[in-house]
Amino acid sequence: MNHKISIGVMISIVAIACALTFILTSFFSLQSFNAKVQDVKEKAAKYDRLEALDTYVRSSFYQKDIDEDQLMDGVLKGYVAGLGDPYSRYLSAEEFDELVTKEAGLKSGIGIYARLNDDGNIEIRRVEENGPADEAGLEEGDIITAVNGELVTEIGYEMAVENIRGEEGSDVQITFIRNGLERKINITRRYYDSSTVFYQMLDGQIGYIRITNFRENTAEQFQQALDEMLGSGARYLLFDVRSNTGGLLKSLEKMLDPLLPEGVIATATYQDGKTETVIYSDAVELDMPMAVLVDGATASAAELFSASLRDFGKAKLVGTTTYGKGVMQTTKRMEDGGGLTLTVATYQTTVSECYHGVGLKPDLEVEPGENVDPFDVDREQDPQLAAGIDLLLGWEETHD
């Protein structure tokens, strides 16, 4: 038997359904609205505290003239510092520009690496090729005794080095001794492409490659070092990332690519639990014994470099437990011209767990020597270097 529903009943049903939909929508919308209002109230309360502080400071601070830009930079720096994260920070516009220049591998100065010698003067250990000091004629082994007429022994090593640095285009007078003769030269500071990779052949068969940081120009320098070492007949590779505090993951990826097998090498995990590939390697793979020298100052990208080589069976780690920084930062310019460096994720290789706060324990633990000069590649003075060399030379015996 067929039951027909009248048009009036149908209209009533539709009206009731619409009313229920409206009521439910209004209810949930009201809840959402109330939540937003509560959020606004909480934020307003925070800003009220800041406004109260600002009012009191402006009415009571003993100096009437306040640098508003400096004050706002301080507020923003304090906000980020309040996160309690040692790797997140707000940067003023000037600081942000300096960071961009630094990450590009550029430095403003004269282009020397130095150390304090036994007489309290500055001994030049290396001169950057085509840098201002190189063009002015300074050489490795020169002893700087005065900067702008001030004796190094009187103002101290650190102050003297700081005085050598300076803004692009400014001049500095260097007094130095070479072969017992004192000389003076004026050098104009400028930006130069700094070296982050140093290399040489050891024992005629070990390609020693020291990486001091991971900058934009590091991958290119690393590839050049790799090509020269392999072209010179290296049978082993010894990487040195001691005191390397990290740098750019995009440079690290380019450097690991020729060393590792094809596939995802490392991933990042974000606040919402999502993961992202940060290191990927293609099918080109270098097959030869490798070792990595590490220490307590090996951190961040340098640790990921070390962990990746070990986890994929390419290298052994030699030295002491690393720093333990397994978190990733992003840096962006803000609308005010400043910048924000913010920790956004943890990262790890696809083989092992994140080492943040723990560090990487070396396969062969060796304590460092005393007063080791990184520019003196001397196994007699550097027990970690000696252990790395011995490990590689005995590779065939231990891996048969």
The pLDDT tens digits for 133-159 are: 999 999 999 999 999 999 999 999 989
Residue 376 banded pLDDT, cuts 50, 70, 90: confident
Average pLDDT score over residue span 375-400: 85
Is pLDDT above 50 for 33? no
Average pLDDT score over residue span 26-49: 61
Tell me the per-residue pLDDT of 341-362, one tens digit each, with 9 for 90 and over. 999 999 999 999 999 999 999 9
Residue 400 banded pLDDT, cuts 50, 70, 90: low
Burial letters 60-90, b for 16+ CB under 10 A, else e: eeeeeeeeeeeeebeebbeeeeeeeeeebbb
pLDDT of 215 reads 94
Q: How many CB atoms lie within 10 A of CB 283?
A: 7
Is pLDDT above 50 for 263? yes
The answer to whether residues 326 and 356 touch, using CB atoms and an 8 Å cutoff, is yes
pLDDT of 38 reads 56
The answer to whether residues 240 and 200 touch, using CB atoms and an 8 Å cutoff, is no
More confident residue, 14 or 142: 142
Is pLDDT above 60 for 187? yes
Q: In what order do the strands lie in the sheet with 315-319?
A: 197-202, 206-211, 236-240, 290-294, 315-319, 364-365
The answer to whether residues 291 and 238 touch, using CB atoms and an 8 Å cutoff, is yes
Cα 382 from Cα 387, distance rounded (Å): 9
Structural tokens at position 384: 């970690």
Cross-strand bridge partners of residue 378: none
Where in the sequence of the chain do the CATH 2.30.42.10 domains occur?
108-193
Q: What is the pTM of this model?
A: 0.81
pLDDT of 24 reads 59
User: How far are the Cα atoms of 55, 209, 259, 318, 372 from residue 383, in angstroms, in the given order?
Assistant: 61, 17, 26, 10, 9
Is pLDDT above 90 for 18? no
Q: Which of 98-107, 165-174, 309-318, 331-340 has the lowest mean pLDDT?
A: 98-107
Burial letters 150-179, b for 16+ CB under 10 A, else e: eebeeeebeebbeebebeeeeebebbbeee
Residue 105 banded pLDDT, cuts 50, 70, 90: confident
More confident residue, 397 or 303: 303
For the 108-193 domain, the top CATH level (class) is mainly beta
| Range list of β-strands (E), the chain | 89-91, 106-109, 112-116, 122-127, 143-147, 150-151, 171-178, 181-188, 190-193, 197-202, 206-211, 236-240, 263-270, 275-281, 290-294, 315-319, 327-333, 339-349, 364-365
pLDDT of 9 reads 52
More confident residue, 296 or 65: 296
Closest to 349 in 3D by CA, of 257, 267, 241, 278: 267
Structural tokens at position 192: 């130069």
Average pLDDT score over residue span 374-385: 89
Residue 35 banded pLDDT, cuts 50, 70, 90: low
The dihedral region occupied by 359, where left means phi > 0, alpha psi between -120 and 50, and beta the remainder, is left
Q: What is the mean pLDDT of the chain?
A: 89
Average pLDDT score over residue span 265-289: 96
pLDDT of 13 reads 61
Rg from Cα positions in the chain = 30
pLDDT of 5 reads 53
Residue 395 φ/ψ, nearest 5 degrees: -60, -50
Where in the sequence of the chain do the CATH 3.90.226.10 domains occur?
197-398
Average pLDDT score over residue span 100-128: 88
pLDDT of 165 reads 87
Structural tokens at position 95: 């600081």
Average pLDDT score over residue span 88-115: 87
Is pLDDT above 50 for 30? yes
Structural tokens at position 217: 């120009």
Is pLDDT above 50 for 43? yes
pLDDT of 219 reads 97
Q: Which residues contact 284 (CB under 8 A, 6 or more apart)?
A: 257, 258
The dihedral region occupied by 263, where left means phi > 0, alpha psi between -120 and 50, and beta the remainder, is left
pLDDT of 98 reads 85
Look up the CATH number of domain 197-398.
3.90.226.10
More confident residue, 8 or 171: 171
Tell me the per-residue pLDDT of 83-98, one tens digit each, with 9 for 90 and over. 999 999 999 998 888 8
Closest to 263 in 3D by CA, of 311, 220, 207: 311
